[in-house]
Structure 1
Amino acid sequence: MRGDPTDQVVAAYYRVRQMLGALGVGLPFMLLFAGWVEEGRILPSLSDYYHTIQRDIFVGCLFAIGTFLIAYRGHDRAPGETVSDEILTNIAGISAIAIALFPSEAEAQEVTTLTQAAFGLRAAVLGHYLFAQAFLYSLAWMCFVHFGRTGSPRRRAVYRGCGLAIVAVGIVATLAAIGRRFGSEAIHSFVIDNSIVFWCEAVGVWAFGIAWLTKGRAEMLLTRRRTRVA
């Protein structure tokens, strides 16, 4: 006997949500593996992979993540909330795509993208970092406020833990990036040699992926329970 078509659509919707989480978890691993194959080392940041032959992986995953986030409507705005799911995911989705379109600084100061040609090299780099901040902190807001308002206490703890991780590594990554650009030679070398920004960005993306995988799994279980009851 075939199930309720509505439940089938809902199940497919949450499966896509889990795929979004899988993309978040998988992106740093894909870049790590491809980077080791090409150069035998970890680059200073995720964004630095844009300037290598791993560009397709970096840009493709960000476009996929961004497109899904923009298409995701989410729940209606709850009483007391200042921003709805839809607005928040639109901000995150647009920011993810913009990160891919506005590359970070490269050793060769050459115009290689449309955004660099349109806005200039410095403005493109500034846009990259601003959109990266918007992406990370909108994801943290989702974990703290929107995901954390429902679910069991254990799942809410997971969401809040993911939110805290995103905020913490976002702050450390920002400080490390400032030290890399404006700090002493010792600070610059420490940040580069230990790939501090890369690991901070990776942990932030992993936390985002885990939160979405957990949310998708939780709501898939709710759908199955409703089907069994019916």
Structure 2
Amino acid sequence: MAKRQPATPPDPKAIDWRRKDAYRKDFARHANLAFLIKSFGIGVIALAVPIVLPLVGGYSGHYSISYFYHVPETRDLFVGLLWALGLFLVLFQGLSRAENLLLTLAGVLLICVAMVPTGIAQCTDTAFDWHEGFAFAFFACLFVVALGFSKRRLTYILWPPLRARFARAYTFAGVLMIALPLAAWGIAQWQGPDCGHAVYWTEGAAILAFAFYWFVKTIEYKRLLGLSLKVIWRRLVG
């Protein structure tokens, strides 16, 4: 009588290919949610910058966002927020190689903004410093992404009025992201030693325009991916 061979143990690295389609659909759904939440998170962190810094470090006598680097209570917070935004931009995957390169460059530039602080003297008439140069280059990258690359996906939105609203929103955000930093620089040059909080609020408005861009992008992605707010909320709260 033939001796019965023992059953071969299952390969621990094997995948149940009978369920591969279900696995792939489940993974794609979670990947889409992660992509959407990352986009929304960039907007939330940016929104916090001009709000949290004066709440922690004080408002009176602080005439620019960048000056909060020199406030002891907010130096780590300022650097941490900019590093978080910069890393998110580096890790965020644009939908084309050129867009991805610009977002990565923007993230690196924002980290440079955090690590190369502005001078401690406020309201000087210095025409240029590297901190400002990195900041302008950062906003210029987002300006190109907003006006050049973000609108290319809008062809997938079939309803013309909705497509037009997204296009206007991207144009609005992009123009503000290049005009407001230039306006802040102009105000500082014009007012010189007599500057007040006008520079702070102009810089803050530029950051809010950046946050607005990412919230619009999140809404667009939500529509393109067909995800409901209930699904996103359940994912956020676990």
**What TM-score, normalized to structure 2?**
0.74
Correspondence 1:73 to 2:54: no
Residue 113 of structure 1: aligned partner: none
Partner deviation per Cα, 1:84-124 (whole Å, 9 max, x = no partner): 1111112210110001100100149xxxxxxxxxxxxx9xx
| Aligned equivalent of 1:219 | 221
Query: SS at the partner of 1:105?
Result: coil
Q: Distance in 1 between matches of 2:135 and 2:227?
A: 38
Give the drift of 1:176: 1.9
Q: 5+ unaligned residues in a row in structure 2: which ranges?
A: 1-21, 155-162, 229-238
Whether the 8 Å contact between 1:149 and 1:156 is mirrored in structure 2 is no
In structure 1, list runs of 5 or more residues that go unmatched.
78-83, 109-121
Distance 2:61 2:145 in 1: 30
Q: Write the distance in 2 (CA, Å) between the matches of 1:178 and 1:98.
A: 23
Aligned-residue Cα RMSD (Å) equals: 2.3
Cα distance 1:225–1:66, how it changes in 2: closer, same or farther (>3 A)? closer
TM normalised by structure 1 equals: 0.76
Counterpart of 1:118 in structure 2 is: none
Q: SS at the partner of 1:59?
A: helix
Residue of structure 2 aligned with 1:89, choices 78, 103, 110: 103
Partner in structure 2 of residue 210 of structure 1: 212
Q: Does 1:133 align with 2:144?
A: no
2:70 alignment partner in structure 1? 51
Bigger Rg, structure 1 or 2: 2
Mapped to 2, the partners of 1:150 and 1:177 lie a distance apart of 38
**Residue 41 of structure 1: CA displacement?**
1.7
In structure 2, how many angstroms separate the alpha carbons of the residues matched to 1:133 and 1:168? 10
1:98 correspondence with 2:112: yes
- Number of residues of Structure 1 aligned to a counterpart in Structure 2: 193
**1:32–1:42: 8 Å Cα contact kept in structure 2?**
no
After TM superposition, the runs of 4+ consecutive aligned structure 1 residues lying more than 6 A away are none
Aligned partners of 2:166 and 2:152: how far apart in 1? 10
Which of structures 1 and 2 has the larger relative contact order (alpha carbons within 8 angstroms, sep 6+)? 1
Partner of 1:164: 175
